[in-house]
């Protein structure tokens, strides 16, 4: 599938009707999501034929992108009932098969090395400090092959240091810097729309035998 | 919920040490056809907890999986197709997952397991 085609499919997905600020629910824009998954597949071969888990899947954008790019089994995990409902409808509209699980990522317990790749657009931790790093810590335990994640560019040094030192990463690399459009979703947003710089990261966990 | 998902999930209550495999309580189950991909199924073989899969499939009335397996069986197309069916085509639509240690039930509604914990379980 071509990048443009993927972006246009994702652009038609239904997004949060009632975003919840405590969960830092922001839609993953089709521009960012398509580039994220397209790179994971075409530069690294981490999607097609794989088991992919989407942490904090929200309305399912990254899950659906994974399925469209040929992931063999996609698990979409979110804490929020409404999001999972919308995600389910989105998946149905595009006729892709996603396996949804309702769970708080912080308490997620997945056995073994079944998941190859984790993709996520985690909360940036602006409302609840450390939320981004908590997601990352769980993702690094679950993925056997790679973790793709978005984080604010301002946190780059901190993330690199923490992931290599504490989270058993073999490598941590920023694949590209993107602009994340934050639409005026919440009342406390004063400006109509802002965009912030975010990094698309690829982390490679150490395999068990290397630990 | 497919049985591959069941094979990954374990009880996430704080303090539980033996939270796998979760028992299945079945109110309604379904079979949905999935395209057979023998490479993927072969790949999954080493990652799956076999007994958990056999027992889960049995509780849905599917008894065609052998209790004992070894990798030589991966040569057999017949075996791979049964494995594929159990892993990917059987769905728990309505029911519950049950923690083997505490008996806590996690509801499965419209095919989605709800693993949310109460405050005193975190």
Please, which pLDDT band fits residue A79 given cuts at 50, 70 and 90? Answer: very high
pLDDT: is A128 or B16 the higher one? B16
Nearest to B5 among A49, A75, A88 (CB): A75
Dihedral sign of CA atoms A75, A77, A80, A81 in order: positive
Q: What is the mean pLDDT of residues A31-55?
A: 97
The domain A3-176: what is its CATH number? 3.40.50.150
The reply to whether B39 touches chain A by the CB within 8 Å rule is yes
Give start and end residues of each alpha helix (H) in chain B. Answer: 3-8, 38-45, 50-59, 77-84
A48: nearest CA in chain B? B40
Torsion sign over Cα A41, B112, B103, B30: negative
Do the Cβ atoms of B121 and B39 come closer than 8 Å?
A: no
Name residue B85's beta-bridge partners: none
Pair A26, A93: CB distance under 8 Å = no
pLDDT less than 50: residues of chain B: none
- The pLDDT score that the predictor gives to residue A129 is 80
Subunit contact A109:B9, Cβ cutoff 8 A = yes
* Stronger pLDDT, A204 or A209, i.e. the higher one: A204
Mutate to test the interface with B, among A23, A51, A72, A89 (most CBs of B within 10 A): A72
Whether the predicted pLDDT of A208 surpasses 70: no
Express as a percent the part of chain A with pLDDT over 70: 93
Q: How far apart are CA B86 and CA B65, in angstroms?
A: 8
Residue with tokens 């804490």: A79
Task: For A135-163, give the DSSP string.
Answer: HHHHHHHH-SSEEEEEEEGGGHHHHHHHH
CB B12 to CB A84 under 8 A?
no
pLDDT in tens, A170-194: 999 999 998 877 766 666 766 666 7
Other Cβ atoms within 10 Å of B117 Cβ, number: 17
Spatial CA neighbour of A140 closest among A207, A78, A191, A75: A207
Report pLDDT for B112: 98
Decide if pLDDT at A150 tops 80: yes
Per-residue pLDDT tens for A1-25?
999 999 999 999 998 877 887 888 8
Q: Measure B25 CA to nearest chain A CA, in Å.
A: 17
Return the pLDDT at A41: 98
Task: Please tell me the predicted confidence (pLDDT) of residue B23.
Answer: 97
Residue A211 has pLDDT above 50, yes or no: no
Q: Report residue B43 as tokens.
A: 């790949």
B1 → chain A, closest CA residue: A99
B52 in A contact zone (CB under 8 Å): no
Domains of chain B: 3-10+19-115 (2.20.25.10)
3-state secondary structure of B81: helix
Q: How many CB pairs under 8 A join A and B?
A: 70
Cα–Cα distance, B96 to A38 (Å, whole number) = 37
Q: Spell out the long-range contacts of A159-166 with Cβ–Cβ below 8 A and sequence spacing 24 or more.
A: A159/A133, A159/A199, A159/A201, A162/A133, A162/A136, A163/A136, A163/A203, A166/A137
Nearest Cα of chain B lies from the Cα of A163 at a distance, in angstroms, of 24
Minimal CA separation from B116 to chain A, in Å: 5
Model confidence at A195, in pLDDT bands (50, 70, 90)?
confident
- Find the mean pLDDT for residues A85-94: 96
Average pLDDT over all residues of chain A: 91
Can you tell me the mean pLDDT for A30-50? 96
Domain ranges of chain A: 3-176
- CA neighbours within 13 Å on the CB side: how many for A18? 5
Distance from A196 to chain B by nearest Cα, in Å?
Answer: 32
Residues of A in contact with B8 (CB under 8 A): 75, 110-112, 114-115
> What's the average model confidence in pLDDT over A148-175?
96
Nearest to A101 among B47, B115, B117 (CB): B115
Mutate to test the interface with B, among A111, A116, A208 (most CBs of B within 10 A): A111
């Amino acid at each position: 599938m071509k990048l443009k085609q993927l972006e246009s499919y994702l652009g038609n997905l239904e997004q949060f009707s009632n975003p919840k600020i405590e969960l830092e629910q922001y839609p993953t824009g089709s521009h960012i999501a398509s580039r994220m998954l397209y790179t994971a597949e075409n530069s690294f071969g981490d999607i097609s034929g794989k088991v992919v888990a989407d942490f904090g899947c929200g309305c399912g954008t990254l899950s659906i992108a994974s399925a469209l790019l040929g992931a063999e089994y996609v698990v979409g995990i979110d804490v929020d009932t409404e999001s999972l409902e919308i995600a389910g409808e989105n998946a149905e509209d595009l006729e892709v098969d996603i396996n949804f699980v309702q769970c708080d990522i912080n308490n997620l317990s997945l056995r073994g090395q079944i998941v190859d790749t984790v993709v996520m657009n985690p909360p940036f931790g602006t409302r609840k400090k450390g939320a981004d790093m908590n997601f990352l810590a769980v993702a690094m335990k679950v993925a056997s092959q790679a973790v793709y994640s978005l984080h604010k560019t301002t946190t780059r040094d901190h993330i690199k240091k923490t992931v290599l030192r504490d989270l058993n990463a073999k490598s941590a690399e920023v694949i590209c810097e993107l602009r994340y459009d934050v639409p005026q979703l919440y009342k406390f947003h004063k400006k109509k729309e802002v965009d912030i710089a975010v990094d698309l990261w690829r982390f490679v966990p150490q395999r068990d035998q290397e630990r | 919920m497919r049985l591959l998902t069941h094979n990954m999930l374990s009880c996430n209550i704080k303090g539980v040490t033996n939270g796998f495999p979760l028992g299945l309580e079945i109110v309604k189950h379904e079979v949905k056809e999935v395209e057979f991909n023998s490479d993927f199924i072969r790949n999954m073989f080493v990652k799956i907890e076999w007994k958990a899969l056999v027992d889960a499939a049995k509780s849905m009335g599917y008894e065609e999986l052998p209790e004992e397996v070894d990798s030589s069986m991966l040569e057999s197309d017949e075996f791979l197709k049964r494995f594929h069916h159990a892993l990917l085509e059987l769905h728990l639509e309505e029911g519950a997952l049950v923690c083997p240690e505490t008996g806590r039930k996690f509801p499965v509604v419209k095919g989605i397991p709800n693993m949310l914990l109460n405050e005193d379980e975190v």
